[in-house]
């Protein structure tokens, strides 16, 4: 089965510091899409950032950026200037089979400490 | 406001009592999907639908049914719920283009006793 692996079940960071969450995936496809979703304690699934595999430029959204390494099948999320509101579960996901189907990693629980 | 609405948000029920979780979206999206989220397993797809009257199994379809009679609605049916279906369920929708992120509902917490 084609999988998405998040190797860090839990992480913590001090407020205002930078943290990087890792994600690797397995795929034989040449074009696909990658996403990071945030799930705060409220349980909502909130899109953080997305990356199109055929684009070499790394996506950025304000304090959030990715390091996309297509050859290595790696898609890490960097959060700069961490805020208390960033405390959440973070899920990495990719599309599969040229469709809208999402395959998710198991998540990384991030805690931002004051 | 663009949204995906699930009901109920919480439900506690007993083994074998049929239940339906409704899902409705107001964005005219073609694609809709159901996921379940379990601790340590992330989200896994149960069923999906590419358009009206077109549905297909995801990765964990056993014990579930779906229908797509209207574009906006995609109910999840548990004909005979069992305790191993206790989980957090999400409905999601997106336009039928892979570059568009899925919009998620707020989740339904089901407890099957």
pLDDT in tens, A5-59: 999 999 999 999 999 999 999 988 888 899 999 999 999 999 999 998 888 899 9
**Chain A with chain B: Cβ pairs closer than 8 A:** 55
Q: Which residues of A55-82 are buried (b: 16+ CB within 10 A; e: fewer)?
A: eeeebeeeebbbebeeeebebbbbbeeb
CA–CA min distance B72, chain A (Å): 17
Q: Do B101 and A106 touch (CB under 8 A)?
A: no
SS3 assignment, position A84: helix
At A92-101, the pLDDT tens digits run 999 887 677 8
- Residues of chain B contacting residue A108, judged by C-beta atoms under 8 Å apart: none
CA distance A87 to chain B (A): 17
Which of A33, A44, A100 minimises the CB distance to B31?
A: A100
pLDDT digits (tens, 9 = 90+) for A74-111: 999 999 999 999 999 999 999 887 677 889 999 999 99
Distance from CA of A91 to the nearest CA of B (A): 8
Asked if the model's pLDDT at residue A64 lies above 80, the reply is yes
pLDDT value of residue B99: 65
B48 backbone dihedrals φ, ψ, rounded to 5°: -145, 165
| Chain B residues inside the 8 Å CB shell of A104 | 35, 42-44
User: Residue A1's pLDDT band (boundaries 50, 70, 90)?
Assistant: low
Q: Do B58 and A100 touch (CB under 8 A)?
A: no
In angstroms, the separation between the Cα of residue B106 and the nearest Cα of chain A is 5
Cβ of residue B58 closer than 8 Å to a chain A Cβ:
yes
Could you read off the pLDDT of B35-88 as tens digits, one per residue?
Answer: 999 998 899 999 999 889 999 999 999 999 999 999 999 999 999 999 999 999
pLDDT band at B14 (very low <50, low <70, confident <90, very high): very high
Angle at A107 (CA atoms; ends B78, A94), nearest 5 degrees = 80
Residue A97 CA to residue A94 CA, distance in Å, equals 10
> Taking CB atoms and an 8 Å limit, are A33 and B98 in contact across chains?
yes
Judging contacts by C-beta atoms under 8 Å, the chain A residues touching residue B104 are 37, 44-45
DSSP sequence for B17-86: --EEEEEEESS--SEEEEEEEETTTEEEEEEEEEETTEEEE-S--TT-EE--SSSSB--EEESS--GGG-
Q: Do A100 and B101 touch (CB under 8 A)?
A: no
Contact list, A105 vs chain B (CB under 8 Å):
42
């Amino acid at each position: 089965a084609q999988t998405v692996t998040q190797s860090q079940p839990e992480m913590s960071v001090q407020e205002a510091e930078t943290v990087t969450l890792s994600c690797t995936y397995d795929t034989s496809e040449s074009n696909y899409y990658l996403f990071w979703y945030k799930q705060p304690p409220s349980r909502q699934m909130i899109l953080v950032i997305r990356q199109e595999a055929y684009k070499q430029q790394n996506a950025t959204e304000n304090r959030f950026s990715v390091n996309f390494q297509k050859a290595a099948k790696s898609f890490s999320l960097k959060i700069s200037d961490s805020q208390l509101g960033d405390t959440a579960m973070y899920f990495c996901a990719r599309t599969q089979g040229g469709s809208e189907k999402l395959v998710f990693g198991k998540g990384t629980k991030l805690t931002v400490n004051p | 406001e663009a949204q995906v609405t699930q009901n109920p948000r919480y439900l506690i029920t007993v083994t074998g009592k049929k239940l339906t979780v409704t899902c409705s979206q107001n964005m005219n999206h073609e694609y809709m999907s159901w996921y379940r989220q379990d601790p340590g397993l992330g989200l896994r797809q149960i069923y999906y639908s590419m358009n009206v009257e077109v549905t297909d199994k995801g990765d964990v379809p056993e014990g579930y049914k779906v229908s797509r009679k209207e574009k906006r609605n995609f109910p999840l049916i548990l004909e005979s719920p069992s305790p191993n279906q206790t989980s957090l369920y999400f409905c999601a929708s997106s336009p039928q283009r892979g570059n568009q992120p899925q919009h998620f509902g707020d989740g339904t917490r089901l407890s099957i006793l």
